[in-house]
Amino acid sequence: MVVEELTQRRYVITNKELELALLLCLPCKIISGRLGLADAITRKRVARLLAKFEVENRTSLIVKLLKLDLIGIDQLVYREFT
C-alpha cells in the first residue's frame, strides 16, 4: 500500500519554484543575483524544494524534475566555461 501511494503521488510546482529549479545548475550566489534574493533566502528555498521532492541534493532534484516532466532539459540555465 505504501508503494502505491508513492507511485500515485502527484507533485505540483509553483511558478516561483519553477523559476528557481531552472537555475539549479548555477552556483547559489548567481541564482541569488538573478532572482534578487539574499543568499540565505535562496538556500532556504532550495532546501524546501529538496524536501518537497524528497531528494538529498540539487542534482537529484533536477533528475527527478526531468523524469516527472516538470521541466525540460532545454529549459535549464547553466554557465559555459571557456
Assigned C-alpha cell, 72: 525540460
**How would you class 79 by CB atoms within 10 Å of its CB: exposed for 0-12, middle for 13-18, buried for 19 or more?**
exposed
Predicted TM-score (pTM) of the model is 0.82
Which amino acid would we find at residue 16? K
In CATH terms, 12-75 corresponds, of 3.30.930.10, 3.40.33.10, 3.40.50.410, 1.10.10.10, to 1.10.10.10
Residues 25-82: tens digit of each pLDDT = 999 999 999 999 999 999 999 999 999 999 999 999 999 999 999 999 999 998 766 5
Q: Note the residue count of the chain.
A: 82
Which amino acid would we find at residue 53? F
Pick the closest to residue 17 from 49, 44, 64, 57 (CA basis): 49
Residues 7-22: tens digit of each pLDDT = 456 788 999 999 999 9
Domain boundaries, the chain: 12-75
Q: Measured between alpha carbons, how far is residue 74 from residues 48, 51, 71 in Å?
A: 24, 24, 8
